[in-house]
Amino acid sequence: MTPFGQRLRKLREERGVSQKEMATAIRVSAAYLSALEHGRRGQPTWDLLQRIIGYFNIIWDEAEELQNLAMISHPRVTIDTSGLSPEATELANLLANHIRILDRNMIESLSTTLRLAHKKHRSLR
């Protein structure tokens, strides 16, 4: 399941809506909506994302959160390390080869470290 799929399912369940009802309303198949929730489909298109936001009638911060989750929810990630250091290439390969053995705490720790590095990088620009 992707972060977007998890949030989408939560929104749907909070409102007591079935996948079939929602799929009909946003003009997709129930199978596609299920695949989107379970992470078997990539990021939704901008158009579909807007239909979902409209369907749930969410605005401002909540809509932005859903858009951000969609952007980081592609289930098959490619990391291009060309032009980076050998250590960066090693890190990318280690993560790709071993992500399935990481427990939730380790994933949280690595994610926090990367978010902090991103924040620091943005503040230096």
The CATH-assigned architecture of domain 3-71 is Orthogonal Bundle (1.10)
The pTM of this model reads 0.73
Q: Which pLDDT score, from 0 to 100, does residue 18 have?
A: 97
Mean pLDDT of 119-123: 91
Burial class (CB within 10 angstroms; exposed 0-12, middle 13-18, buried 19+) of 81: middle
Q: Where are the domains of the chain?
A: 3-71, 86-124
Q: State the pLDDT confidence band at 77, using cuts at 50, 70 and 90.
A: confident
Q: State the pLDDT confidence band at 50, using cuts at 50, 70 and 90.
A: very high
Chain segment 92-115, per-residue pLDDT in tens: 999 999 999 999 999 999 999 999
Q: How far apart are CA 105 and CA 84, in angstroms?
A: 28
Q: Which pLDDT score, from 0 to 100, does residue 76 have?
A: 84
The phi and psi torsions of 52 (rounded to 5 degrees) equal -65, -45
CB 80 within 8 A of CB 88: no
Tally Cβ neighbours within 10 Å of residue 52.
25
